Amino acid sequence: MNDWRRDPPETDSPAHISEGVNDAAQPHSENSHPYDRDGNTESYLRTDHEDGFEPALFENIFAPEPILQERIPHVGHVGILGLIAICSLIIASLLSRAAIHFHFLGVTNLQQAQADVRYTLGSEAVLYLISLFMAWVLFPLLWQRSFLSGIHWNGFIAVRSLGKLVSISLLCFLLAMLNGYFMPGPPDTPIDRIFRMPGAAWFLFAFGITMAPFFEELAYRGFLLPAICTAVDWLREKIIGVQPRRADAFGNPDWSLQAMAVGTIFTSVPFALMHAYQTGYSLGPFLLLFVISMVLCAVRLSTRSLAASIVVHAGYNFLLFAFMLIGTSGFKHLGNM
């Protein structure tokens, strides 16, 4: 999956290029900045020595470099992320055993730790944070760009579209209510038993609207989804001979509809399976999670923003927890769930 340059626009005459260099030496006004108001740099994209002429002296200093179609993250990066997660899991397990050894929070053995939500969620939080730290350090070295740029964070899009994203969260919540009415899950699932642990509900509430949506989106729609989309397009190029697609205005991959459809399905299946144990492997919750994941994938792909899908995911979780909070009088009557 090699990188490639975007096709350059029609080349200008050498005289025009020289004029561009002279203009670049002058202070830029609002209308003469190499990046226009929409962030489009296409008129400045060109390859050196294109069409048989030499670039003007010092042109590469004044003109922005061509945007590269860097297809990241790809499948290999997903594998690296998996290795990072395994290493982080080992470290988190060792830290938990050390905490038990020193009777941290009054816990003296593994059985007590497994029944204490502070240990279970704490270990998961440590796992997430160590993984994030390692990924934040390693991947920029591989990508030659920042971590947030590589995962297509684009937080400004989430801020600009906040109202729409909240509305999507509400629609997902209403879908969950319908699913619970027509296809309810079993009465005593593992997640229900966790909620009944002393003080667990509030810990789950805080965890479920912060760390859980962030790291789940990072893994599934920050790495897995784009990797599958890229793999599908790469296979189409090699097998069918489809021409590589141009990058967008920010240098991010522009996947085909076929690639996005396949990526959405093969991202949503493992996402739903990841939660299957918590819901007792019941069909109704599995189908709900599969559909919710497809919605999150659609948000991520349509906005080109991982931050946008995190907002929807966190908003959806918040509405679920808020509904439970009201229905159980502040988590005091969990039998009403």
Contact 48/82 with Cβ under 8 angstroms? no
- Measure the CA–CA gap between 179 and 50, rounded to whole angstroms: 58
Nearest by Cα to 184 from 280, 308, 60: 280
DSSP 290-327: HHHHHHHHHHHHHHT-HHHHHHHHHHHHHHHHHHHHHH
**Top-confidence residue, 51 or 331:** 331
- List the single range of 114-128, 237-251, 269-283 with lowest mean pLDDT: 237-251
Q: What is the pLDDT, as a whole number, of residue 10?
A: 46
Taking residue 74's Cβ as centre, other Cβ atoms within 10 Å add up to 19
Exposed e or buried b per residue across 307-323, where buried means at least 16 C-beta atoms within 10 angstroms of its C-beta: bbbbbbbbbbbbbbbee
How many Å apart are CA 171 and CA 145, to the nearest integer? 36
Residue type, 262: V
Pick from 208, 230, 278: nearest CA to 74: 230
pLDDT tier for residue 327 given thresholds of 50, 70 and 90: confident
pLDDT at residue number 263: 98
CA–CA distance, 98 with 110 (Å, rounded to integer) = 11
CA distance 213 to 95: 24
Tokens of 17: 């290029």
Domains of the chain, residue spans: 4-66, 151-336
224 — pLDDT class (breaks 50, 70, 90): very high
Phi, psi of 4 (to 5 degrees): -145, 165
**Distance, CA of 110 to CA of 116 (rounded, Å):** 10
pLDDT digit string, tens, across residues 21-46: 344 444 444 444 443 444 444 433 34
Nearest to 267 by CA among 295, 298, 306, 294: 294
Instruction: Tell me how far apart the alpha carbons of residues 217 and 4 are, in angstroms, rounded to a whole number.
Output: 28
Say how far apart CA 171 and CA 174 lie, in whole Å: 5
Query: How far is it, in rounded angstroms, from Cα 108 to Cα 102?
Result: 8
Inform me whether the pLDDT recorded for 68 exceeds 80. Answer: no
Burial of residue 124, with CB atoms counted within 10 A of its CB: 0-12 exposed, 13-18 middle, 19 or more buried: middle
C-alpha closest to that of 231 among 78, 128, 81: 78
Give CA separation, 136 vs 140, 149, 169, 218, 304, in Å: 7, 11, 28, 12, 20
For 89-141, write each residue's pLDDT tens digit.
Answer: 999 999 999 999 999 999 999 999 988 999 999 999 999 999 999 999 999 99
Q: Answer yes or no: is pLDDT of 6 > 60.
A: no
